[in-house]
Structure 1
Amino acid sequence: MQRLGNGLAVLKMAYGSVGAIYGDLGTSPLYVFSTIFSSNSNPTHKEVYGSMSCIFWLFTGVVIFKYALIVLIFGPNDNEGGQIAIYSKIARTLKFGPKGVKIPGSREYAQELADNDDLLSLTRTNTNASNYSHGDSMPSQRIKSFLSKFTLALCFLGCSLVFSDGLLTPTTSVLSAISGIAVAVPSFEDKVMPVSCAVLIILFLSQRFGSGKLSLLFSPIVTVWLICLFVNGVICVAKFHPKIMKALNPYYAVQFLKDHGVDSFSSMMLCVTGCEAMFADVSHFGPLPIQLALCCFVYPCLMMCYFGQAAYLIKHPSGVSNVFYLSIPGHNGDAYYWFMFVMATLATIIASQALILGVFSILIQLITLDCFPRLKAIYTSEKHRGQIFIPVANWVLMVCVVLTTVGFKNSNNVTAAYGLGISIDFILTTTLITICMRYVYRINVIIPIVFMLGFGTLDALLIISGLRKVPNGAWFPLAMAGISFMFISFWRWCRSLKVNYDISFKKSVDELFVSSSTVKAIKEAVVVNLNSENSKKGYDGANDEESVASDPDIGTSGDQDNQFLEMKYYGNIIKIPRNNHVGIMYCTSSTTLTNRSYLPHLFEHLIHSFNSVPKIFILIEPRVSTLPFIEEEDSYRLQEIAGVPGFYRCIVRSGFMRQTLLTKKLLRSLLLSISEIEELQNVYGTNDVMDDSNHFTIPVVHLFERDYVSSKEFDSEDVEEESRAMRIAKLPWKVLRRWLINYLFAPLNGISNNSTMDFLLPHKNEERNQEILYVGNRISI
């Protein structure tokens, strides 16, 4: 029964993927043949056979063999897709990646988090051990250094190309469908563009409902659409030219390419647009459901439709300009024609869905790797964590798509610019999969080489053929991809500067305080020295503790009833008074809780500014769990910081479907779990941390990190050593660097941190005995 249930679940997900993923591939028949023969009003029989054979073998090779059977098997990482998923697998295996970032890993890691083992990750610098065993030889350091930069650059470029593709795919699909009205009603020609814009706006507004709910609506539509394509194809083949099935012979494809050259690839490759979105959307449904839906349903329906259109062109070569609508069985303007028009319009709207979901999926992965600002993500499904909605990205993408539609005006202009970016994306995926095969799965080097030579050559031919589109509009997606690539690279560069600053100024507990662990270490060192140097004099070490305790440079934090905390300051030990408050500091710096022995660099400045330390001090880090919901009483994990009494670390976990607010109930439970709270209760003469009116009886201060980031001023000594010509040459870069960091990165970084911390704010900051302070210092990077 369990296997039956799992099988039904897979089939249900496969059905859902039809609506959410295959809209782009499913609407390609609207414009493929029209684009291939755009300059030929009457294609010959030989050309129709050749083009059909090329479409069949290109689709089969790229979509079925490359993506469905190879990329979807070797590419996904932690059930995520896209080039960034492949990069994450490579980086995790070879132990490189963005500094200060935990790279998502195996299912065991996800299960570990789900099993409430979050505290273990406080000391984890990598989410998964390398796949290499002791018997395997790791690549040399030089190769690893090259692969680290090379794969990250490919990853950023691939993501950028998907973003630019997200502008053209909705534009192409919707314009092509709406233009079908003009075939039957020529007077509608001028209204195609505004109606398309309205349709696209409605599509983006519906994203808030989530891919799961949309797939319930979209899947029946796309399923009916594909069945209609199959039926139309069968009727056309049987009615017009049954011998068109001979185009399955690759001989016709070879002859067509021989006669028309490699340039013909730029038009034929429109039949495979949507592959990258299919891979990027794998987190929404999983690889197996996508493969089943593609191979068992989508593929045969589309191929039969293409064969039907080719059969129609054999008999009516002059109808190539709008072969899809003209080949619909019946007569133009009858009921079935308008039914197909409505289905085409709905299918093209849905075609944009795959790209939108792909953009969401890629963005959340970039955010996880700290390569993009932390945009707010809303999870829309309890069962599938990959189904998300990113409001800011949705609205920005909507505006850009509408402006693109207005700019291109009709589908012919868009298809003239469409394809080059996708071709470049293909070869990036091929390269990353080749590296993944070799270094992650350790496949014999011959197989990755054959894979790269085979599909890489095909991808290169697609790129070469697409270059001729640059003057006709293909510059637009390349320009958009370039802007996106520069922004992602810029953000990662600035974040790396910020992380390096955090690392360089981080302080351990032993570096800041004279803690019990420090005293223990010094005692052990003194005992060793006494035993080794004075053993001949008869010392037995009995008075070692007394000698250590009498050392004026060594102290403990337990003097005077813990009213003072001994802190190291520029080689001296100063006593910091402890007040009878509770301090809660919310941490956002990348290195704050990556190791149990380190404290935020801001903490030292905080103590020197206020010249006191709360009796109880808690460092809190927010995390999103792999579970959809977490009960409030199970949402935090508390851990004492060894050596400093009253200091704690706490992870506040939030289910991805519901953010955990730091409510009064949760805060009360957290404080009552701390042993030192009884001392404060005695000071304020209360038996509880809250009274009957739900007001705190003990003062609680909430501290939020708000660092001010600015561009580093160059050292005057270094400037003096440079020649005048060198200073003049570097001046534009210095000005640009200062402007980018001060006026672009700094505001975005502040907004990014706010979106992370907002859900931890108490409900009412004006409540008695609760204060909220924003503390920070200037960080020059």
Structure 2
Amino acid sequence: MTVGKLSGHKFNGLLGTLVMSYNSLGAIYGDLGTSPLYTVSSIITSEPEHEKDVLRAISCIFWLFTIIVIFKYTFLVLTFGPNNGEGGQIAIYSKIARTLHIGPVGVKIPGGDSKNGDQVPDNDGNLLALTRTNTRNSTYSELVNTKMKSFLSKFTIGLCFYGCSLVFSDGLLTPTTSVLSAIAGIAVAKPDFEDKVMPISCVVLICLFLIQRYGSGKLSLVFSPIIAAWLLILFIDGCISVSQHPSVMKALNPAYAIDYLVNDGHVDALAPVMLSITGVEAMFADVAHFGPHAVQISLAFVVYPSLMICYLGQGSYLIRHPASYSNIFYESIPGGVGSNYYWFVFVMSTLATIIASQALILGVFSIVKQLIIIDCFPRFNLVYTSSKHKGKVYIPVVNYALMVLVVVTTVCFKNSNNVTAAYGLGISIDLLITTILLSICLHYVYHINILLVACFFFPFGVLEACLIVAGLKKVPHGAWFPLMVSVISFVCIATWRWFRSLKISKEIDSKRSIEDLFDNKKMKKQLKEAMVLDLRKKGDDEADSISSIALEGDETRDDNDNANDNDNDADTLDFNYKGKVTKIHRIPKAFLMYSAAASTNTFNHYLPNLFEHIVNCFSALPKVFILVETRVSTFPYLDEDTPKASLIKIDGPVPGFYRCIVRSGFMKQSRINKSLLREILFQVTELQELMDYYKVDDPFMITGELNIPVVEIFERDLISSKTLDQHMEDDLDIWSKKGSFNWRKAIRAPWWFIRENIINQVLSPFDGAINSSSMDYMIDTDLKNAKVNHESLYVSHRVIV
């Protein structure tokens, strides 16, 4: 019976993978699958004189595709690269950073699987939301030289940011060139349509972006049959053409590819060949939408054979009809130009070319999502579009921003020929970045011998370096555009992370614990007595001597304190605010503070910086103070019997402090309503004391109103930059003496002027705009509308970085 159940699970798992493989066709292979439309014509630009000329070109396409797409990506990158189901360079970086603990300051990178070689399994692996943890060294990471770790920290995150930026730049070019070329195909049949190509392309692109909100799952239902039919057409047409000249199969001999590079332009000849693998980087970035196994199956068993047979078929036709080199794809269609089948293929090619944009759009969504999770991108709203697969995500702000930029790019380039000249170089650089990051990952994460890693790095690295060299000649003709866009994107991402690291470092440096803020003498006395009794229980002579010393040493202090016992009861505390100690009283209320501060998420016993300012303002401390945080599960919905909120007591000399974790499924945010608030309050030890004070038996009335006062606090940081003078006051030891000409200040003045304006005029307002609602989205309407014993406070706190 058990075997039967296991077999059933395996069958269902295999069936699900096959379904996902089919769905992936329409989402991530449009770009890769439409490369036969133009690749051979780009390589062979004049009528071939000998059969060998055609065989060499086809052989070069076959082996470049096989080496990069199959050997590297299908077998290696998709096996060792994904992290927590996500793809792209950011996934590889995340594995490296988590293993060596060299990630961004204050960020816990999700994922981790010891079976796959990760050093730090994620014990709370079902939590996807941004969380932070204190940096610590594992046994393995201690073996890595400190300087090497410092270098890897900067080097890998720099490569990761630039690799993501290259995908963003490709996200502008691919939709532009694919749609322009598809619509331009109509102008071939109707020349008077040429002036309408650009405006109609813009309309098509806008429609394409508008339907993204339906999610990759629903779009795949429409796109996958089209791409599947397209690949079938390529395969059938190729088989028919190859059967008419089978000797074209000699192109599978790598000697022809080597001969092509040696005799036909050396490295420069790789530039047009590179067009055959455009889209492979998007395929890796899109892994989260379908899973690595589904992508491997669809690529190896459907896409690869269809494309290779198609290229061989075009080579076969070109050997027989050398004059057809300029439009080899349409010329080689069985039935000839103008036949009914020809127009059917033309329509399918147009649809497939338009769909080619989908791969890059989804890739951008996946990359931005991962950047948000590791706190390297503004925290935009993520919309999960599938309850069965957490990787399918839609980001409205990014979608519409990308739409505007793509339309602007389309208007500027006007036709596909101009875009093609800019195409390829960015992808080549992206391929090399993936190779470098994966090499580091193989050695440090999977502990593969450095010699074996070198056997991976050098063949692929040298080949991809040659592709970059070949693409550099395109820079004057348009390849400057993706380089410019990628540099701008890189600067934006790096600047945002720098800004976030300044803020987080400031929070952590100024963290305050309960012990730092309060001096509860009665509680200290109780703790001391408990410790003394504990030592005496041991019955050890040494323990007895320590106990007697402790008692003797405390007698004097106790005598002095006894006179003030009446003023220092359980409801009176000494509050230390910026070095000034004042007495405050505890009030019979419950405060809930919604905070995402790094100081509280990193160190469990520390409080948000805003807390001490609130206590100072009210000159009082509530009986119950609860810090509320959120976590998002990898499950779409939480089971009914799963607690949505759990309380953890914060240890310290003052009772009544708790941390509350509110859990949600990724498809539905758990909101704090009266029912959930009741669940939270009943976990509080001091609840009975509050109910006794107000002489009630339940925190809520029968009508649903609160019986005990509850105050909800929402924080919003207002961030501003230090001035140069403030920085100098903080670091006087490294500056010149006051009163004399300060040449160091003069040198740094321009940089600090730029720094102040970037933070105060750009980053701080932007951060405030995207976080303007704070965490009040967690409060349900029924609780917001509570009129009795319920208050909401929105408190701003200025952070100078």
Q: Same fold (TM over 0.5)?
A: yes
1:67, distance to aligned residue in structure 2 (A) = 0.6
Q: How does 1:683-722 map to 2 (within 5 A)?
A: 683-715=693-725, 721=737
Question: Which residue identity lines up with residue 23 of structure 1 in the other structure?
Answer: G
1:694, distance to aligned residue in structure 2 (A) = 2.3
CA shift in 2, pair 1:41/1:549, >3 Å: farther
Maintained 8 Å contact 2:132/2:598: no
Question: Which residue identity lines up with residue 757 of structure 1 in the other structure?
Answer: M
| Residue in structure 2 matching 1:659, options 669, 672, 690 | 669
CA RMSD of aligned residues (A): 3.2
1:382, distance to aligned residue in structure 2 (A) = 1.3
Secondary structure of 1:740's match?
helix
Cα shift readout 1:106-127 (whole Å, capped 9, x = no counterpart): 2588984367999xx9995369
CA distance in 2, matches of 1:533, 1:112: 41
Cα shift readout 1:670-707 (whole Å, capped 9, x = no counterpart): 22332322333333343332223322232221111111
Instruction: Name the counterpart of 1:258.
Output: 262
CA shift in 2, pair 1:551/1:524, >3 Å: farther
Instruction: Name the counterpart of 2:38.
Output: 31
Instruction: Name the counterpart of 2:69.
Output: 63
Cα shift readout 1:558-611 (whole Å, capped 9, x = no counterpart): 954x43233334566532112222211111212212222111111111111111
Instruction: Name the counterpart of 2:377.
Output: 372
Q: How does 1:271-670 map to 2 (within 5 A)?
A: 271-514=276-519, 549-550=558-559, 552=561, 560=569, 562-569=570-577, 573-630=581-638, 634-643=643-652, 644-670=654-680
Instruction: Name the counterpart of 1:748.
Output: 766
Q: Is residue 96 from structure 1 mapped to residue 116 from structure 2 by the alignment?
A: no
Of 569-578 and 107-116, deviating more is 107-116
Question: Which residue identity lines up with residue 581 of structure 1 in the other structure?
Answer: K
Maintained 8 Å contact 1:237/1:307: yes
1:555, distance to aligned residue in structure 2 (A) = 9.4
Cα shift readout 1:206-252 (whole Å, capped 9, x = no counterpart): 1111112222222211111100011111222234x332221111222
| Residue in structure 1 matching 2:178, options 173, 187, 203 | 173
CA distance in 1, matches of 2:162, 2:77: 18
CA distance in 2, matches of 1:122, 1:579: 32
CA distance in 1, matches of 2:605, 2:649: 11
Secondary structure of 1:210's match?
helix
Secondary structure of 2:589's match?
strand
CA shift in 2, pair 1:753/1:546, >3 Å: farther
Question: Which residue identity lines up with residue 705 of structure 1 in the other structure?
Answer: E
1:552, distance to aligned residue in structure 2 (A) = 3.6
Mark the runs of 5 or more structure 1 residues left unpaired by the alignment: none
Maintained 8 Å contact 1:519/1:556: no
CA shift in 2, pair 1:115/1:355, >3 Å: closer
CA shift in 2, pair 1:518/1:56, >3 Å: farther
1:640, distance to aligned residue in structure 2 (A) = 1.8
Instruction: Name the counterpart of 1:76.
Output: 82
Maintained 8 Å contact 1:212/1:387: yes
Instruction: Name the counterpart of 1:757.
Output: 775
Instruction: Name the counterpart of 1:767.
Output: 786
Q: How does 1:142-291 map to 2 (within 5 A)?
A: 142-239=147-244, 241-259=245-263, 260-291=265-296
CA distance in 2, matches of 1:553, 1:310: 99
Of 524-533 and 404-413, deviating more is 524-533
CA distance in 2, matches of 1:284, 1:700: 42
CA distance in 2, matches of 1:91, 1:517: 42
Question: Which residue identity lines up with residue 731 of structure 1 in the other structure?
Answer: A
Maintained 8 Å contact 1:526/1:544: no
CA distance in 1, matches of 2:543, 2:51: 103
Of 208-217 and 502-511, deviating more is 208-217
Cα shift readout 1:4-63 (whole Å, capped 9, x = no counterpart): 22221221121122222211110111121232245x366754332211111000000000
Q: Is residue 780 from structure 1 mapped to residue 800 from structure 2 by the alignment?
A: yes
CA distance in 2, matches of 1:536, 1:743: 64
1:418, distance to aligned residue in structure 2 (A) = 0.3
Maintained 8 Å contact 1:556/1:566: no
CA shift in 2, pair 1:624/1:533, >3 Å: closer
Instruction: Name the counterpart of 2:52.
Output: 46
1:540, distance to aligned residue in structure 2 (A) = 7.5
Question: Which residue identity lines up with residue 770 of structure 1 in the other structure?
Answer: H
Question: Which residue identity lines up with residue 275 of structure 1 in the other structure?
Answer: V
Of 195-204 and 765-774, deviating more is 765-774
CA distance in 2, matches of 1:537, 1:675: 33
Question: Which residue identity lines up with residue 252 of structure 1 in the other structure?
Answer: Y
Of 743-752 and 762-771, deviating more is 762-771
CA distance in 2, matches of 1:624, 1:74: 26
CA distance in 1, matches of 2:666, 2:279: 29
Instruction: Name the counterpart of 2:749.
Output: 731
CA shift in 2, pair 1:29/1:557, >3 Å: farther
Maintained 8 Å contact 1:514/1:557: no
1:269, distance to aligned residue in structure 2 (A) = 0.5
Maintained 8 Å contact 2:85/2:291: yes
Cα shift readout 1:646-681 (whole Å, capped 9, x = no counterpart): 221101111100011111221122223323223333
1:710, distance to aligned residue in structure 2 (A) = 0.5
1:383, distance to aligned residue in structure 2 (A) = 1.7
Instruction: Name the counterpart of 1:678.
Output: 688
Secondary structure of 1:776's match?
strand
CA shift in 2, pair 1:33/1:723, >3 Å: farther
CA distance in 2, matches of 1:5, 1:390: 31
CA shift in 2, pair 1:521/1:186, >3 Å: same
Question: Which residue identity lines up with residue 740 of structure 1 in the other structure?
Answer: I
Cα shift readout 1:313-367 (whole Å, capped 9, x = no counterpart): 2233343333222322224343322222222222223221111111111111111
1:766, distance to aligned residue in structure 2 (A) = 5.1
Maintained 8 Å contact 2:645/2:679: no
Question: Which residue identity lines up with residue 616 of structure 2 in the other structure?
Answer: H
Q: Is residue 14 from structure 1 mapped to residue 25 from structure 2 by the alignment?
A: no
CA shift in 2, pair 1:758/1:404, >3 Å: farther
CA distance in 2, matches of 1:55, 1:210: 34
CA distance in 2, matches of 1:48, 1:80: 40
Q: Give the TM-score normalised by the residue count of structure 2.
A: 0.90
Secondary structure of 2:626's match?
strand
Maintained 8 Å contact 2:95/2:112: no
Maintained 8 Å contact 1:557/1:565: no
Secondary structure of 1:771's match?
strand
Secondary structure of 1:747's match?
helix
Q: Is residue 113 from structure 1 mapped to residue 124 from structure 2 by the alignment?
A: yes
CA shift in 2, pair 1:745/1:34, >3 Å: same
Question: Which residue identity lines up with residue 636 of structure 1 in the other structure?
Answer: A
Maintained 8 Å contact 1:514/1:555: no
Q: How many residues align?
A: 772
CA distance in 2, matches of 1:14, 1:388: 18
Secondary structure of 1:707's match?
strand
Q: Give the TM-score normalised by the residue count of structure 1.
A: 0.92
Instruction: Name the counterpart of 2:91.
Output: 85
- Percent pairwise identity: 51
1:72, distance to aligned residue in structure 2 (A) = 0.9
CA shift in 2, pair 1:342/1:600, >3 Å: same
Maintained 8 Å contact 1:92/1:130: no
Cα shift readout 1:186-223 (whole Å, capped 9, x = no counterpart): 22222222222222222111111111222222221111
Secondary structure of 1:622's match?
strand
